[in-house]
Structure formats: C-alpha cells, structure tokens
Structure 1
Amino acid sequence: MTVPNIAHHGGSGRAAHEAPNGGVSNGDGEDVYDLICVGFGPASLAIAVALYDRELPVRVLFLERQPLFAWHSGMLLPGTRMQISFMKDLATLRNPRSEFTFLNYLHRKKRLVSFTNLGTFLPLREEYNDYMSWAASHFTDCVRYSTDVLSVSAVASPGPVRSWSILTTHLTTGLPHTFRTRNVVLAVGGRPKYPSTIAPSLPHPRLLHSSHYSTTIRTLLPSPDGQYRVAVVGGGQSAAEIFHDLQTRYPSARTSLFIRAHALKPSDDSPFVNEIFDPERVDTVFSLAPEARKKALAEDKATNYSVVRPALLDEMYSHQYAQRLRESDERMWAHRIHPLREVVGVENVSDADGDGEGEGVVLKLRNTRTGECSNSEDAYDAVIFGTGYERETHLTMLKPVKAIMKDGQCSVDRQYRVVFREGAVAKDACVFLQGCCEESHGLSDSLLSILAVRAGELVDCVFGAEGEPTNGTQRQAKRRR
C-alpha cells in the first residue's frame, strides 16, 4: 500500500506558491498550512487516516514532542490486553473499508487467520501498539518529531483572526521555529499526575509514574534477582497491572500496593453499560445541563476510573490466597495490598538516619477512614504512582489567546472548537481540542472508543462534509489541480 503525503496535496500536484515543506507561502516567505495538529498520538493519527480516506487536497502538518511514534510505551507490559474491541480502531466505525483498519493491518502482516483462531476481540496491547505504529509509519513525511510546541497565538490582521501562529522549539537542536496555519488541533494527551502532597518531593530518583514504568524500571532496579522493596500507589488498572507485573519481573522482591478504598473494585464493561462509549452518546452528554452532565459523569466513572478488569482481579486474588495458604500472618507476605491508605508524603531514609547513604524512601500514610497518620513499615527502593493524568497542557499553550476567548474561559462547542468572543475569529479559522473535553463531551473523550468517528467529524467540520472545503483558499487549490 502506498500512502500519498497528505501535506503535499495528497500527491496530486503542488500549488503555484507552495513552500518546500508542504505549506503555502503567503507572499512574505512565511508558510501557511490548512491544518496543524499538535501531538501525533492516536487522536491525531485518526485524523491523518480520515484525511487520507477522503483524499482531500489539503496541506497538513503534525507536530510531536516524542522522537518517534509511541503509544503508552511505559505500560506495554507482557501479556496485557486491550480493554476495548479491536473494531474501535482508527477507522472501522467511520469507514470499515479503510486501508487502516485493524483487520487490514492483520492481513498485511499475514496474521489475520491466526488472530481469528484466538477467538477474541481484545488484542494484546503490544500488538495494538504495533498496529498504530504501522499506521503512523505511512505519514512520516507529514510529521515533525522532537518538536515541542510552546504556544498558539493569533496572527494580527484587520478584522477577525484568520490564522494562527505556533511557536515551537526542536528538542535536539534547540532551534526555535514558528509555523502558521488556518486551523489548529491540540491533541497533546495527558501529563503524569501525582498526589498533590508528593509534588514538593519531585523530581526524585526513586519516585516514578506508571507512564514511565516499563521504560525506566530496569534502570532503577537493574538486577532481576534483586531483593528490592517496591511500592505501587493507586487503585486502578495501571497500578494493578504494575503490582502484578513486579511479582514476575522481580521474583525475589517484596511489593506493596497502597489503595485509598477498602478494596480493589471491578470495572463495569457489560454491554449495556458500555453503550456510554458509543459515538452517538456524545450528543446526549453534550446536550445535558451542566449539573445533570456532572451527575451523569460521576455515575459513569466506575467504567474507567479507579477500577480493575475482573479477570486481573481474579488472578491477583488467587495469588493473595496462595500466600495465605502458606502463611497466615500477612505481615510476612512478600506481596501485600494495603487498603484505606493515602500517601501524603515521602521521607528519605538517609535524612531520617543521618547516614547519607540514601537507602530508600519511607511513605507517609493517612488512613482514609480514621484520618490516623503513620509511616510505612518498609523503606522502598522504588515507588510507582498509578495515579492518572492531568489534561491541562492546552491551557498553557493557549494563554496568548485567552483574552479573546468567550468570557475568558476555555470552553468548546459540540464540534470541539474553542469558543471565542463574537466576531473575534473568522469562522474558517478554528482551534480544536481533542482528549481534554471529558467534562463537556463525556468519558469517551480521552479514550480510543470514538477516535475514528470523531476524526471524521473534525475533518468534515474543517474541510466540508461532502468534499467541498470550507476555506476559500482551498477551493482555489482544488481548482488548480
């Protein structure tokens, strides 16, 4: 399969004033794109696929901070499976005939029949990462990797804003560069979230987030046979997977899992409940009054937050029971779960003893039921926080345009467009947010479930639903073909 470079008019020829890197010169040497996506994770990759399927003559660029495409590389643990059906891939729910479906990926890799024999809708996470990396490899010419986006600002012009300036720096060379575009998509993903009480201790060589686990843990704990003491903090899927993985990765280690609740709780992925992740449910959630929407989101959180898949819970409980069979005193177990414990601080062992040897860290704990505070029994060689993500990076990038936002707040409409003051921005110059609109669009916003459909809607919004671009310049480009 040969995929044309969508940044270069889909391989259909170049505009008369097109710049060497795929943009269009505005006459003063500055390149102008029709669309720039900040971040090249699954959300932007789905947009690239939707653009390819539409065969639009557009000039598109993707800016990515990482040096290459990677999807949750820190959580690609052996044997872990996806939590959604492979049919919720980059294309199928929008266009089952797309060349970028998961089934076509299997066909191209000559594993379609073998995968069918597995009898599952849930691929290994390792395989799904390879699927998305395979898809991303077809758009390399449209991506600037190792590019950190600092800000998005409005390009000054008479009347309403008609284009945007994106300030970047290259993470390898340190060189700054400014890109100009008519439309922007901010799809920057989440930033590791730690308990607020831990923030003063960061960065710390023994504390790491689950997002860096599999890529960092071997550096921190190099010996597979080491008698390490490791703590995991969190009651969700990531924390449970790491706690489970440590027992195989370091068979001689002692591990502890600290959770705020009285017990690990199962995720609800029954078919009726799973309908909250259907693409059409976005309309339902968005149309609710703010208080009703907030209540609905709270009711649905058990499907995605601080919950663990039942199959993993069963396996973890079996391991705990085997320890109980051999030793009735839980304090002697190698792998313990500590419920009703909130981590409220850390203390270096060397600071407490005054020996300067840096032997580990002690966790300061608070009982979530009684409020009683204590220190952990062990000093830990590593503490991994599976405590989720913050999704506020877009607010920093958009600070230069906050003054023209409606009511000075970063809110979005149903099409994920940032809402600006009436008349401040031209209707064909939009800023879109992806993956940070859960409060307005529902729990599926930061998940993979609706990527294909949402990407198609965004492409339709920018370039027209029937293939007729909404931007006058693009109509000229289309006529020049």
Structure 2
Amino acid sequence: MTFIVDLPQTYGCMNSNAGYDSLEEPSFKNMAQDKLHDLICVGFGPASLAIAIALHDTLDPRHSKPSMQRHPKVCFLEKQVQFSWHSGMLVPGSKMQISFIKDLATLRNPRSEFTFLNYLQNQGRLAQFVNLGTFLPTRLEFEDYLRWCAERFQDVVAYGQEVVQVAPDKTDSESAIIDCFAVLSRNVKTGVVSVDRARHVVIAVGGRPIIPAPFPNDPRVIHSSAYCSSLPALLKDTLKPYHIGVVGSGQSAAEIFHDLHMRYPNAKTTLILRDSTLRPSDDSPFVNEIFNSERIDHFYNQSAEERRRALSSDKATNYGVVRIELIERIYDEMYIQRIKTPVECEWQHRILPQRAVSKVEHDNAQGPIRVQIRSIAADGSGIGDESPETLEVDALMLATGYVRNAHETLLKQVQPLRPQGHNEWRVGRDYAVHLDRNKVSAKAGIWLQGCNESTHGLSDSLLSVLATRGGEIVESILGEQLRGKSVEPEYRASL
C-alpha cells in the first residue's frame, strides 16, 4: 500500500494484514492530527472500496509511475463497526445478478490484485470455481470477496464513525474563500463527536430502507435489508406454524418468499404484490449494455425528459423484477402445492397479486398483526371493487426498496455554496457537486456516489460500474496531483 493516512487518535484503527501472505505488505503511516486530509470518503461500502482500490492501483508502481512530491492523505469514515455488505440479505443459495467480471477492479484494470479471480486464487478455490461453469457467484462468496478487499485498507478506515454533517471550512481564517470542509462524525459506541477536515469529500453512504405508510414502527414489521439478521431472532422456533407475510414484487421479495419455505417448513407464507404477477428481469445482451460504463456519457448528455423516458423504459432491468430461474423455482413449488391441495384458500403458500396493504394494526405485542389488503384495479388506477381481506400474521417482511437522499441532510450547511439559482444539488459527469467557485476554491469539492440515477442512469446505485467509476473519481479529485502537477507543499490546518 502506498498512500499516507491521517487518522484521529479517537478512531483506534488497528493494522490487520490477515489473509494477505502472498500480497505486497501495505505501508501505512499515521500523520499528525493537525494535518488536512486530501480526501475523506463518507461511508465504506463497495463504492468507497472501489475508490480505495483505484487509488491503490494508481499509486502502485507495477501499474503506473505517478510523479508526486508527496502521497495523498486519505480516510474513510464508516458507520458500521466492521465491513459488511447487505448482510441482512445473504439468503442461503442466493446468487449475484451480475458477472464476477464486474468486480471492483477488472473492468478498470484486469492486472489489479483486487480482482475476483485473484481473490479466488488467494483463497485456493480458483479451479473449483471454474468447475462450477458460472459467471454468477453466490452472494455469500461475493460478500466474502468484498470483505477480503476491505481488510487490506483497515488502516485508512475509521469504523463505528457515523458522519452527521459536512460543513464549509477554511485553512486561512482571514480568507473569504472556502478551501476545505469539516466532516463531523459521531462514535456509535461512545457518542463522542470528532471533526476531520479535507479538501475533497466523497459521500457514498448507500440507501436508507423505505418503510412506507401504512406500515407501523413495530419490531415484527421488518424491512428486507434486515431479513437474515432480524427475523430468526424474532421467530426462533423454525418448526412452529407461523404465518409470515411478504410485501413486494422484486428480487428481494421473491428471495425471501422462497427462502421462508425452507427456513420455516411448517409456516404459512403470503406474498402480496401490487403488480399482476412476478415479472422476469431483462438481462439480455443488448439490453444489458445500458450498464456499460461508456453508456453513462450518452445518458448524462441527454435532456432531463429524455433521461426520464430512458429510466422508465429500462425499469425492467432492475426494479420490481425477478431473475427467471427463481421465478421458475417458485412456480414449480406452487404447482406441486396445487397437486397436493386443490383448494387455493387452503394452500400453505399463497401469492396475492394486484393487492395493496391499506391498514396494519395489532392489539398488543403478543397478538397477531392484522394486515388489511385491498384489490387494485386492473389498470393500476386505484382500489378495485372487491371487499378487503384481512390476514393475521406473526411477522411482516417489507421488500419496499430504498431512498438515496442522505446527502440532503449531510450537506445542509453547504447549501449556501450552491451556484445562484440552483435550488437542488447538481453534479457534473465526474460526480462533482456544482459549487459557486466565487465562494469555493477550485482546490476543494464534494462528490456524490449512488444517488445520481436521474443524471447518470440505472447503473448509478449498482455494482456494474464501480470499477471504472472508482478510477474516474480518483482522476477527478487527485488526477493533477498524481501526475505531479500543481502539487502544493504539506497543508497546514488553521486551529
């Protein structure tokens, strides 16, 4: 590892090189606390991890020969206490929906030591994986790959630090120009708030689970993101004849519905979906090209109306759809059930299409949850004519998606720095937030990741473009410095 790290002492980061006997030893060096970071990344999920890998590869003399007077000082602040990727949805047997070649490095640099194939080689499973004859590893294995990559960067990550605000700051108290940002983070264990300062800030915090109305705040109403972690703790007896409801029509809803049949073999399960049926995702070759990184340029340069039409047209690749293999497995199970029990109302597992949940209530924490559902008109225009049906369930799983607007809260103090007439956050093709350069130095900036679907396309919140996008972010933020141009002396913070 070749870049220098500036970590506050309160973070307590520890050096860990476990599992890397065959790889080059990282060489980290802590800097004094009064130094200014070149880059702070808010969040350390796959998006920020891809940036760390791209920066590592850029500084690796085996791949390039950057001309620098000093190495950049970088830190990642992560709310979770350890690296984790969708741990609540590591459903047994679930597979990735993209090729392993779309890992965090290959499409940008196939020679990187952080490719999925190098991970397999390092773990002694390369030949065995080849024998599987698939491009789609299990989600469990891909999460292990991401964790394997993340372990290499332990010394630049402050885990257990929840960023609560990014605010304008200056290195020269007498200057009117903002040339850095203060990043405030709270230790999730102690509550202590720390302040770090950086020229450049990347916000990549992922999505927040959506719990829409009318679903109450109840421990038995669980978002799909917490399925594997929360439901087993709630319904502990796997042989008990529970009744479990699932709401949603996409991949997560289908995976949960299917997994419940095996996890709780005696339970009744009901899948409630607004659509008329489970629909297959379109991952055919030509359609799949919308996730190619080079398509982002075309999408970004379109008008806002053209982008909206494109997103609507391409929705079947990612939203409210299920991989055909899983649909076929579920259909097969439902068909066998039809043979054994001809009367549908007596089925153990039911799918209720064109339904909407209108009310959720319960009398006490021990009693069942009553879920009132109503039919939806065939054209989707509103409530149908049928009388509502009430289900009594022991738990309700919500595969209701995510909202990706955390930057709105984090950047509240930065709003006055937007250009005149900008009432919302706008980003350039390089993901840099548009700021008023009469107020903010060209040496400072903020970048957004994973919340730019409206300007950068459907791939923005997905894994498909992370490898190349990580390289683009590194180039956008540190490109001139890495090439030895406009490199300033060591920064000095004004206290």
When normalised by structure 1's length, the TM-score is 0.91
Aligned partner of 2:354 in structure 1 is 340
**Distance in structure 2 (CA, Å) of the matches to 1:105 and 1:7:** 25
Distance 1:171 1:311, change over 3 A: same
RMSD: 2.0
**Distance in structure 2 (CA, Å) of the matches to 1:248 and 1:431:** 46
Aligned partner of 1:162 in structure 2 is 179
Aligned partners of 1:88 and 1:450 also within 8 Å: yes
- How far did 1:421 drift? 2.1
Structure 1: which amino acid aligns with 2:460? D
**Distance in structure 2 (CA, Å) of the matches to 1:132 and 1:433:** 21
Aligned partner of 2:35 in structure 1 is 31
Structure 2: which amino acid aligns with 1:182? R
Distance 1:73 1:338, change over 3 A: same
Residues 1:386 and 2:405 are matched in the alignment? no
Aligned partners of 1:5 and 1:142 also within 8 Å: no
Within a 5 Å distance, the mapping from 1:207-218 to structure 2 comes to 207-218=221-232
Aligned partners of 1:365 and 1:374 also within 8 Å: no
- Show structure 2 runs of 5+ residues with no match: 8-24, 60-65
- How far did 1:173 drift? 1.1
Aligned partner of 2:280 in structure 1 is 266
Aligned partner of 1:7 in structure 2 is 5
Structure 2: which amino acid aligns with 1:49? I
Aligned partners of 2:430 and 2:473 also within 8 Å: yes
Q: Compare the two structures and name the one with the higher helix fraction.
A: 1
The number of residue pairs the alignment matches comes to 454
- How far did 1:357 drift? 6.4
**Equivalent of residue 198 in structure 2, options 181, 191, 196:** 181
Aligned partner of 1:17 in structure 2 is none
Q: Deviations over 1:388-438 (max 9, x none)?
A: 100011110000011111323211111101111242211221100000000
Aligned partner of 2:418 in structure 1 is 405
Aligned partner of 1:43 in structure 2 is 47
**Distance in structure 2 (CA, Å) of the matches to 1:125 and 1:161:** 43
**Distance in structure 2 (CA, Å) of the matches to 1:471 and 1:67:** 37
Aligned partner of 1:322 in structure 2 is 336
Structure 2: which amino acid aligns with 1:155? D
Aligned partner of 2:18 in structure 1 is none
Aligned partner of 1:138 in structure 2 is 152
Within a 5 Å distance, the mapping from 1:335-374 to structure 2 comes to 335-348=349-362, 350=363, 356=364, 358-369=366-377, 371-372=383-384
**Equivalent of residue 280 in structure 1, options 294, 307, 316:** 294
Percent of residue pairs identical? 46
**Equivalent of residue 87 in structure 1, options 101, 105, 108:** 101
- How far did 1:374 drift? 5.3
**Distance in structure 2 (CA, Å) of the matches to 1:357 and 1:464:** 57
SS in 1 for 2:314: helix
SS in 2 for 1:472: coil
Aligned partner of 2:452 in structure 1 is 437
**Distance in structure 2 (CA, Å) of the matches to 1:390 and 1:239:** 17
**Distance in structure 1 (CA, Å) of the matches to 2:76 and 2:409:** 19
Residues 1:458 and 2:456 are matched in the alignment? no
Aligned partners of 2:372 and 2:391 also within 8 Å: no
- Show structure 1 runs of 5+ residues with no match: 15-20, 351-355
Distance 1:117 1:31, change over 3 A: same
Distance 1:144 1:364, change over 3 A: same
Structure 1: which amino acid aligns with 2:469? R
Structure 1: which amino acid aligns with 2:446? V
Aligned partners of 1:418 and 1:433 also within 8 Å: yes
- How far did 1:364 drift? 2.4
- How far did 1:375 drift? 4.8
SS in 1 for 2:460: helix
Structure 1: which amino acid aligns with 2:370? V
Aligned partner of 1:353 in structure 2 is none
Q: Deviations over 1:371-396 (max 9, x none)?
A: 14755443111000001100011110
Aligned partner of 2:262 in structure 1 is 248
Aligned partners of 1:185 and 1:434 also within 8 Å: yes
**Distance in structure 2 (CA, Å) of the matches to 1:162 and 1:458:** 19
- How far did 1:344 drift? 2.8
Structure 1: which amino acid aligns with 2:139? R
**Distance in structure 1 (CA, Å) of the matches to 2:485 and 2:168:** 20
Structure 1: which amino acid aligns with 2:444? A
**Equivalent of residue 75 in structure 2, options 41, 61, 75:** 61
- How far did 1:476 drift? 5.7
Aligned partner of 2:17 in structure 1 is none
- How far did 1:188 drift? 0.2
Structure 1: which amino acid aligns with 2:408? L
Structure 2: which amino acid aligns with 1:419? H
Aligned partner of 1:231 in structure 2 is 245
Aligned partners of 1:210 and 1:238 also within 8 Å: yes
**Equivalent of residue 109 in structure 1, options 123, 126, 148:** 123
Residues 1:195 and 2:208 are matched in the alignment? no
Structure 2: which amino acid aligns with 1:390? V
